[in-house]
């Protein structure tokens, strides 16, 4: 399953970069091409980000990657203004 998600990740980011370039390099007169490419680039970027986040969470859960450093919650409460 993780290999399929990794393939989706690569294809989605490739779509993001290629359609993003097409959206930015389109002629100003051709608004339909620009908007279509921008929408496809946004969909590719969204799918790529979701696949990447799934891969990161999966590798941390399985122990393949070291979990990220996260702050721990302190037991003592701080009251008042903190500078």
Rounded to a whole number of angstroms, the distance between the first and last alpha carbons of the chain is 48
Give the per-residue pLDDT at 21: 96
Give the per-residue pLDDT at 76: 65
Structure tokens at 41: 């680039």
| Spatial separation of the C-alpha atoms in residues 54 and 60, rounded to whole Å | 10
DSSP-assigned letter for residue 69: P
Residue 4 — pLDDT band, cuts 50, 70, 90? very high
């Amino acid at each position: 399953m993780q290999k399929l998600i990794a393939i989706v990740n690569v294809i989605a980011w490739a779509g993001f970069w290629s359609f993003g370039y097409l959206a930015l390099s389109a002629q100003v007169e051709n608004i339909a091409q620009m908007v279509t490419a921008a929408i496809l680039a946004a969909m590719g970027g969204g799918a790529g980000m979701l696949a990447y986040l799934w891969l990161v969470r999966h590798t941390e859960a399985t122990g393949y990657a070291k979990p990220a450093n996260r702050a721990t919650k302190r037991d003592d409460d701080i009251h008042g203004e903190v500078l």
